[in-house]
Amino acid sequence: MRSLPLVIVLLSAAVTPMCAQDKPAATDDSGKARVFITDSQSWEMAGAGGGAGGAYGSSVSGGARPQTAEIIKTFGERCPGVMVNNIQEKTDYIVLLDHEGGKGVLRHRNKVAVFARVSGDSIVSKSTLSLGGSVQDACEAISRDWAVHGSAMRVAAAAAAQTKAAAAAQPTATTNSAPAAPSMGKLSVVSVPAGADIEVDGSFVGNTPSDVQVSEGDHSVSVKKVGFKNWERRLKVTAGSSVHLSADLEKAENP
């Protein structure tokens, strides 16, 4: 009877490890290469036509065959060492698979290309006879490249994200530090007779009657018309002011 507690303890100790083994191990996918998968829509067109007795008939069949869902499924089955991600900006590689459906097996020309997202460099570009072969080529190329450049790619991606964030904030800082636009005033110039040239600081700005925007400060205004004496005034314009000038032109003695 005294040995019973010892047996119970031994059985309890034996059961505990077995329960721990039954629990699935947690998986950490953070170290896997992330891929974004896309495809181009392949086209296969077929047509026939003919006619007799003035009548003509024809038929055309075929069109775009999007294969994205099938490609992603095949990639997940053939390449479990990577993580498929649907946000291109958060991936390490971009996989382009062109899968030609609807043809005989020997007429397939599946093409695969893999690009490092940040650098844009191609790490593989091939043609195969099957979708599985294309996926296998892409998977092997990614595995080789990721083993060598994975850490550097993540660092480069983080740096690129920081640069993008800084560039997005740059316009706000530039706007805040930009010099204020010069303060303006308005000149309303009329003349008798009308149609005379208006010059501000020696530059032609229009014909009378006209409203002219000028910067704050001292200015020289001239009104000129052939056959009449020049009319000139110097004045000071303040911000937001409106100055009215009326030039009564005198005929020239020797027009």
- Taking only the tens place, the pLDDT of each residue in 12-39 is 444 444 444 454 444 566 788 898 887 6
What confidence tier does 8 reach under pLDDT thresholds 50, 70, 90?
Answer: very low
Query: How far is the C-alpha of 144 from the C-alpha of 116, rounded, in Å?
Result: 13
**pLDDT tens digits, one per residue of 154-213:** 888 888 888 888 888 776 545 555 556 668 889 999 999 999 999 999 888 888 998 988
β 55-65/42-52 pair status? antiparallel
**Tokens at residue 184, please?**
């303006």
Q: Which residue has the higher pLDDT, 20 or 231?
A: 231
Query: How far is the C-alpha of 220 from the C-alpha of 200, rounded, in Å?
Result: 6
φ/ψ of 189, rounded to 5, equals: -115, 125
Contact status, residue 227 vs residue 252, Cβ threshold 8 Å: yes
Percent of the chain surpassing pLDDT 70: 67
Q: Which residue has the higher pLDDT, 247 or 11?
A: 247
- 205 C-beta neighbours (distance < 10 Å), count: 16
Q: Is the pLDDT confidence value at 64 over 50?
A: no
Query: How far is the C-alpha of 233 from the C-alpha of 200, rounded, in Å?
Result: 10
Contact status, residue 223 vs residue 230, Cβ threshold 8 Å: yes
Query: How far is the C-alpha of 205 from the C-alpha of 103, rounded, in Å?
Result: 73
Domains and CATH numbers, the chain: 32-42+64-156 (3.40.50), 184-248 (2.60.40.1120)
Compute the mean pLDDT over every residue in the chain, rounded to the nearest whole number.
Answer: 74
Contact status, residue 34 vs residue 83, Cβ threshold 8 Å: yes
**pLDDT tens digits, one per residue of 76-103:** 888 888 888 888 888 899 888 776 554 4
Q: Which residue's entry shows tokens 């010059």?
A: 199
Contact status, residue 86 vs residue 123, Cβ threshold 8 Å: no
User: Rg of the Cα trace of the chain?
Assistant: 40
Give the pTM.
Answer: 0.46
Query: How far is the C-alpha of 97 from the C-alpha of 113, rounded, in Å?
Result: 7
Q: Which residue has the higher pLDDT, 231 or 109?
A: 231
β 93-98/33-39 pair status? parallel
Q: Is the pLDDT confidence value at 5 over 70?
A: no
| Cα 223-228-230 angle, rounded to 5 deg | 35
